[in-house]
Structure 1
C-alpha cells in the first residue's frame, strides 16, 4: 500500500506495531474487497500510517492512536473469523463501540447470530440492540422503546421465529393497534381483512424475511402464526406463545393493561414502540408512556431504550431523529417561557393559550411527529423495525 507524505515523516514520539493475520484467515477477509475496510480504518485514524504486506499489517503513529487501531483490527479479525463479511459500516460501528468505552466488545455484538434464513443472518449491530436481544432472552416481558429504524420490531420478530424453531413456544402472535381508524374500521371500504391489512403489513413483511414465504399460509391456517389487530386480543389467554405488540405508543393505558394480562403459562411478550410518534386522539394518554412507572419494581419485566446511535437505516435517519429531538426541546422551552412570564404591554393571548407579541408567530408546543415509521410493502431488512 502506498503511504502518504505525512506518514513517511516519523515523529520522535511515534510507535510501530505489527499485526500478523492468522494463516486460516485470508488477508482479503480483513482488508475487504478493494481494501475497503483498510481505507475505512485510515479515514477514521488519519494520524496512523497503515501498511499491509503479505500476512502482516504495520501500524505507525501516536501511541494512543496505534493502540486503538490495534484493538480495532484484533476485533475485526475475530469478526471476520466468524464468517461475517467486513465492510465500512462494520468498521464504523466497531470504532463507535471502542471509543464509547462500553462493556461489550465489537466481536461480541457483531457475531451474536439470532437467526439464519434464506441466505441471510440476522444479528444485532449495536450495543443497544445486543442489550435488547439479551433482555428478551432473560425476561418474560420486555419493552423495546426507541425511534424509527432501531430494529425494535425486526429483532423481536427474529427472536420469535428462533423460539418457534427451537420449540420453546408453539405459536407466534403478532398484533398492532389500528389506531388511525380508532379501531373502528366499519367506515372503510372492503372486507374486514382488507380493512386491517394495511396496519399489519409491516409485521407480514418482517415475517416474509425470516420464514419461507410458501410456508406462511400453512402456518397461519394452522394458527402457528397469528397476525391480528389489538382489539382481537381481548378476553384471551395466550399460553406457550411468543407475543409481540408493535406500535405500542398507540395504545391507551386500558389497552396496554388488557394486552399485558393476556400473558399465559410458557409465554414471552415483547412490546415495541416509539413514544415520540403517538397518533392517539387528543387527551388520550399513551399506555407506553406510563407503563414503566406502573411496572416499576415488577420482577421479570425489562425496559430497553434504543437511541439514534442504534439506527441501522440510512445515516441521515439518525441525524433526523436527533434534529427532531433538539427541535422538541427548543419548542418546549419556548412554550414554558411564554407560560411562565407575565404578559407584556400590548400583548394578547394567542389562540393556543400562550401570549405572543403582535406580528410574531408562536411555535406550537411539541406535538407527536407523524407516523412515517411503517415501511412500504416489499421493504428490505434494513428498513424493518
Structure 2
C-alpha cells in the first residue's frame, strides 16, 4: 500500500482560525467529503494523507479545495455551510445531483465559481462571506440591506449606516474593523460615540474619567470582546492599539492607518459631525452609524439627520439605509420598529393637516 502526504501551509498574513473556522469546522467539511483520505491540521499546516494510488485523484481534488478556501480568506473567509455547499456541488456524482432538489443549474453555477477561484481570477464576491468570528460563531451580512452596507464599506472611505435598532449597524462595523486589523491593513481601531444619556439623568458617576464614560461605550466593548476575546481585548486597550473613547476626545487629532467608527451618530450636533469627519487621515476608513428616529439631543437638529443633504453625491462617501426588514434581533423588534414608523408617519400627516388649516384661516 502506497501512502503519500501533501502538506499545505497557511500564509503568514492569514489567521488559521479565520481560514479553517472555530475547532477546524471548515476543514472538517472537506474531510467529510473525502472519507478515504486522512486530513490532519496542526497549527498553520494541513496534511492530506492518501493511503493508495486509487485515492490520489481525491487527494489532488481535496488539495484544490483547501487552496480555494485559503484564497477566499484574503477577502471573505468561507464558513462551514458555504464549503459544504461547494463540496456538494463539486464532489457528488451527476446522478445524485439530479435526484436532489436544489442542484441542477445552481450546482453548475457553484462549480463555475469554484473553478474561477481556483484559477486565481475570481473577483471579490458581490455577496460578502464571513467577516470574522464572534464567540465561535461566524459574523456576516444576513439581509439585503446588510449586504449593501458591507459592500459599501468595502468600496468607500466613509460610509454612513442609517437605520433602526437591531439592524446590525454597529456589530458589522466592528466586525469589519477587526477583520482589517487582523489582516494587518490598518494599525489601530478607534471607536467613539457621543456621551449622551438616553432621556435619563444618570447623575454623578464615581471613579476616573474612563470609569465615568464606560457606561456610554459598553456596547462597543461588548462587540469587541465577542470577536477578540476579553484577554486579547484588554491587551490591545492597554497598549492603545484599540481605543474606545467619547467623541470629545477626537478634537484636534488626525487619524491615520485606522478603522474609525462613530456610533450613535444621531446624537451629534452638526458641528460635532463636521469635527469628526475632518479627523480623517491617510489609509483610514470611517463608518458612521445611527438612527435618526432615536435622537436624545436637546438641540433642534441632529448632525446625522442633515448629513446626507450636505455630503450626498460626493465620491468615496456612501449612505447605506437599513429598515425593519434588516432587523436581526427578536422578530418582535422588527414589528415594534414598523409600528413606531407608522405612528410617526400618522403624526406627521396630522401636523401637516393642522398647518394647512391654520394657513387657510
TM-score (norm 2): 0.64
Q: Structure 1 regions of 5+ residues with no counterpart?
A: 1-22, 31-53, 60-69, 83-106, 345-354, 356-385
297, 304, 309: which one aligns with 2:320? 304
Q: Which residue of 2 aligns with 1:327?
A: 343
1:267 aligns with 2:284: yes
Q: 1:219 to 1:329 in 2, by over 3 A?
A: same
SS at match of 1:172: strand
203, 228, 241: which one aligns with 1:211? 228
Q: Structure 2 regions of 5+ residues with no counterpart?
A: 1-31, 36-79, 82-95, 115-124
**Residue pairs, 1:136-155, within 5 angstroms:** 136-155=153-172
Per residue, is there more helix in 1 or in 2? 2
Q: Which residue of 2 aligns with 1:280?
A: 297
Q: 1:279 to 1:166 in 2, by over 3 A?
A: same
**Residue pairs, 1:61-100, within 5 angstroms:** 74=106
Give the root-mean-square deviation of aligned CA atoms: 3.4
* Deviation, structure 1 residue 56: 7.0
Q: Deviations over 1:86-132 (max 9, x none)?
A: xxxxxxxxxxxxxxxxxxxxx964x7111135422111101111111
* Deviation, structure 1 residue 339: 2.3
173, 176, 187: which one aligns with 1:159? 176
Q: Is the 1:185–1:195 Cα contact (8 Å) retained in structure 2?
A: no
Q: 1:73 to 1:194 in 2, by over 3 A?
A: farther
Q: 1:302 to 1:335 in 2, by over 3 A?
A: same
* Deviation, structure 1 residue 151: 0.5
* Deviation, structure 1 residue 72: 11
Matched residue count:
260
Q: Distance in 1 between matches of 2:306 and 2:291?
A: 13
TM-score (norm 1): 0.61
SS at match of 1:341: helix
1:290 aligns with 2:306: yes
* Deviation, structure 1 residue 58: 7.0
Q: Distance in 1 between matches of 2:230 and 2:165?
A: 26
SS at match of 1:313: coil
* Deviation, structure 1 residue 179: 1.6
Q: Which residue of 1 aligns with 2:330?
A: 314
* Deviation, structure 1 residue 221: 1.3
Q: Distance in 2 between matches of 1:71 and 1:304?
A: 33
SS at match of 1:174: strand
**Residue pairs, 1:102-141, within 5 angstroms:** 109=127, 112-141=129-158
* Deviation, structure 1 residue 140: 0.6
**Residue pairs, 1:3-18, within 5 angstroms:** none
Q: Is the 1:249–1:275 Cα contact (8 Å) retained in structure 2?
A: yes
Q: 1:24 to 1:236 in 2, by over 3 A?
A: same
* Deviation, structure 1 residue 282: 4.0
